[in-house]
Amino acid sequence: MLRLPPFRYHRPSSLAEALELKGEHRSEAMYVAGGTDLVPNMKHRLFEPAHLVALKGLPELRGIEERDGSLRIGAAETLTDVAKNKAVLEGFPALAAAAGHVAGPQLRNSGTLGGNVCLDTRCTYYNQTAFWREALGFCLKKDGDVCHVTKVGKKCVAAHSADTPPVLMTLDAELVLAGPEEIRSVPVRDFFVADGIVNNQRLPDEIVTEIRIPLSSVGRRQAYTKLRQRKSIDFPLLTVAIAADMDASGRVRSIEGVVTGLGSRPRLLTGWSEIAEGHALDDEVVEELAERAHKQCHPLENIIVDPEWRRAMVPVYVKRALAQLRAA
């Protein structure tokens, strides 16, 4: 059995109260929404906060509705609710698919969209018990100063393993972050940084309150594919999200692809517009796009699946996503 370290549990009833509790306990406190990522991590002693501030009961973080030209999704809405929501299914089917592919049904019933966006990075040498990690002398990301993946590197390369951010990036979504001083919004595509220790720009006191997807993205053709070991429950070994605007004759006006599951942040694939814009998505263009994606992806042995195989799967999954897109 895996016991949790002792902590106090706070259930604030408003956003202001949650921010206040965090301000009171500072670095001793962490926020928790669904807990599906944080609680196992606490059991592994990756985090040992003395106070947990629960976000699920905050009314400011609930609801899915159209507002000011965007679909606004409260950050504490569960992945189950996002995946089954009518507005999401109709307007953003790739997001519904991604949310519906996170882990298994029980985890989606607890886990939230905001939590998925803020998911901690994962690594073979990190997501282990304290006993296991200690036996290896710990690692760069937690309690140690060596990276067991790169051996020499001083930068953590733990993998970003969340399903929804790549899709949100291709839909031009933004996050609303509430801190003690200000409320700010950040495009999802600018949210992540290439550092496996903390791979996003959320400040420790800030709460992701909502995700906004512009309704202007509704008409885009969208696709989402995911490689995993067991299709019933696993984290992605590779995820591909693509969105494209096509004209009436089927020519690409604009196209964007994002892959993740490989490095510390989702990667926006470059060079795609030159290949596809103004052309139909015929087999030749598809082949070129897949090849360009393959050239850019160089996964490391940060998760316990052969990186060469994961890399070889990049063009395969890009092509599957493009096939979805053509059929959309």
Partner 1 sequence: MTTTHDIVRLHVNGDLREVGVPTHYTLLETLRYILGLTGSKQGCDKGDCGACTVVVDGRPTLSCITPVWEAVGTEVITVEGLASADGPHPLQDEFDLNGAAQCGFCTPGILCSASALLERTRAPSREEIKDALAGNLCRCTGYTKIYDAVEAAARRLSADDASADAATEGGASTGGASPVETDREPGGV
* Contact positions vs partner 1 (CB under 8 A): 1-2, 4-9, 11, 32, 35-36, 39-40, 43-44, 50, 52, 54, 56, 80, 103-107, 109-110, 232-233
* Residue 6 vs 69, nearer CB to partner 1: 6
CB of 103 to partner 1, least distance (A): 7
Q: Could you tell me which residues come within 8 angstroms of residue 287 by beta carbon, excluding any fewer than 6 positions away?
A: 319
CB of 116 to partner 1, least distance (A): 14
Instruction: Find the distance separating the first CA and the last CA of the chain, reported in whole Å.
Output: 46
Phi and psi of 268, rounded to 5°?
Answer: -80, 120
CB of 247 to partner 1, least distance (A): 36
CB of 71 to partner 1, least distance (A): 23
* Residue 52 vs 119, nearer CB to partner 1: 52
Torsion of CA 111, 166, 310, 279, to 10 degrees: 150
- Two structure tokens written together for 62: 């609930």
* Residue 52 vs 300, nearer CB to partner 1: 52
Q: Could you tell me which residues come within 8 angstroms of residue 244 by beta carbon, excluding any fewer than 6 positions away?
A: 220, 221, 252, 253, 254, 255, 256, 276, 281, 325
CB of 240 to partner 1, least distance (A): 22
What is the spatial distance between Cα 242 and Cα 171, in angstroms, rounded to a whole number?
Answer: 9
Tallying the residues shown for the chain, one arrives at 328
* Residue 109 vs 296, nearer CB to partner 1: 109
CB of 113 to partner 1, least distance (A): 16
* Residue 122 vs 212, nearer CB to partner 1: 122
Sign of the dihedral defined by the CA atoms of residues 240, 246, 250, 255, in that order: negative
* Residue 122 vs 267, nearer CB to partner 1: 122
* Residue 5 vs 187, nearer CB to partner 1: 5
* Residue 107 vs 328, nearer CB to partner 1: 107
DSSP letter at 328 equals: -
CA-angle at 313, arms to 310 and 319, nearest 5°: 150
What is the spatial distance between Cα 167 and Cα 243, in angstroms, rounded to a whole number?
Answer: 8
CB of 1 to partner 1, least distance (A): 5
**Could you give the angle at which helices 283-296 and 307-327 cross, rounded to 10 degrees?**
150
CB of 56 to partner 1, least distance (A): 7
Sign of the dihedral defined by the CA atoms of residues 319, 320, 321, 327, in that order: positive
What is the spatial distance between Cα 234 and Cα 230, in angstroms, rounded to a whole number?
Answer: 6
CB of 90 to partner 1, least distance (A): 21
Asked whether the beta carbons of 149 and 264 are under 8 A apart, the reply is no
Asked whether the beta carbons of 280 and 255 are under 8 A apart, the reply is no
* Residue 106 vs 185, nearer CB to partner 1: 106
What is the spatial distance between Cα 204 and Cα 42, in angstroms, rounded to a whole number?
Answer: 17
